[in-house]
Homo-oligomer: A and B are copies of this chain.
Amino acid sequence: MLTLNSHPSGRHFLQIPGPTNVPDRVLRAIDQPTIDHRGPEFGALGLAVLEGVKQVFQTQSPVVIFPSSGTGAWEAALVNTLSPGDRVLMVETGHFASLWRKLAGRLGLEVDFLEGDWRHPVDAAAIAARLAEDTAHGIKAVCVVHNETSTGVTSDIAAVRAAIDGAAHPALLMVDTISSLGSIDYRHDEWGVDVTVAGSQKGLMLPPGLAFNALSARALAAADDARLPRSYWDWREMLAANARGYFPYTPSTNLLYGLHEALAMLREEGLPQVYARHSRHAQAARLAVAAWGLELLSLDPTAHSAALTAVIMPQGHGADAFRKLVLERFDMSLGQGLGKLADRVFRIGHLGHFNDLTLCGTLAGVEMGLAAAGVPHRPGGVQAAMEFLAGERASAPA
């Protein structure tokens, strides 16, 4: 069998911002015999996960589950609701927003792209302004990323909703929660989102391979008029089959076992506790970064992500060489800089199945790596995080 960890001993620290460390309970659930996806036991499983997953999206509306990566859920959101040549408004929060834009372009959509510096959240006022200009309502959808995985910046979705409502604009609101769902408070219904896009491999603590669209009544209505070609991603056959717990084509049976277990774990911990845990770990991580004297990529203290922390490498030091050293010497995977941030930042994932001591080990790996790589920094990052985690020190302002 392929040896998956070339390190001779100990557990790998998978501290990229997803895929995250999959709990043993979830892996073991997946490691069960595949069953008949048309049989009665599957139907019960299907109903349980289709219903259970709604709680994580905080919605009463249907959630569609695809056997695909999160990228597929981006595509599904668009092809189910839009027609060739439709205009969508997207916001450049970072690499993933840019990829979604590119995908939309390939599908034949016209994209209005609100430019950004990859260090700030979505500017709801700018959206409001753009929509106000669009008196003809040519813009059919506003697409934003809740938590930009490439930058560690979280946007205020309620504010985006308010901007759309303020402009009395009929555009659909679509939100990518790939790296926030199950980690950062997210409210599909309360925030009036029409399509929420998510994946299995982050806060849901599963291996990659499942993708999600949470819908709204307006999104479903749009699906009736949308004319982009679609079949695999079509919600309508999905929802028809889902009503009894089944799927129109063979689903990822074993990943659905894992989803069942992961949902149980989230329920056992409680979503508010899950969110508070992520927030606390993110604060500790930022205290460490501050202690090291390094710069956060995220510039808006109200928008620092609870799921990951992106750190700018000091001038003259490549992030990739640093990450390579950390992987080779300390057996930890850190997230790389993506797109225009390549080699300039590294990202620390602290989401999913995670706890205080794993965070301390993670931060220790960064701090030792900085030292071993000769990257200018002050020691004391782990110390600062520990003081906060042990309750001796209040969080820094941000």
Write the residues of chain A forming the contact surface with B, with a CB cutoff of 8 angstroms.
Answer: 1-14, 16, 18-24, 27-41, 44-45, 48, 66-72, 75, 79, 84, 102-103, 106-108, 199, 201, 207-209, 228-232, 234, 248-255, 257, 260-261, 264-265, 268-270, 273-274, 277, 327, 329-333, 336, 353-358, 360-362, 364-365, 367-369, 371-372, 379-380, 382-383, 386-387, 389-392
Contacts and interface: CB of A to CB of B under 8 A. Distances in A.
24 contacts: A1-B29, A1-B264, A2-B45, A4-B32, A4-B33, A5-B33, A6-B40, A12-B33, A14-B33, A19-B35, A19-B36, A21-B33, A24-B33, A28-B32, A31-B31, A67-B209, A68-B68, A71-B231, A103-B232, A106-B230, A330-B355, A331-B356, A360-B368, A364-B386
A250 B201 contact: yes
A71 to B, nearest CB: 4
Contacts of A229: 79, 84, 106-108, 228-229
A358 B361 contact: yes
A261 B387 CA distance: 40
A326 to B, nearest CB: 10
Contact of A199 (B66, B250, B327, B355): B250
A10 B33 CA distance: 13
Oligomeric state, in copies = 4
A199 B252 CA distance: 11
Contact of A355 (B10, B268, B269, B354): B10
A249 B11 CA distance: 25
The 10 closest A-B pairs by CB, nearest first: A10-B355, A361-B361, A360-B364, A8-B269, A31-B31, A368-B390, A357-B361, A71-B249, A209-B252, A36-B333
A68 B251 CA distance: 8
Contacts of A387: 371, 379
Contacts of A277: 8-9
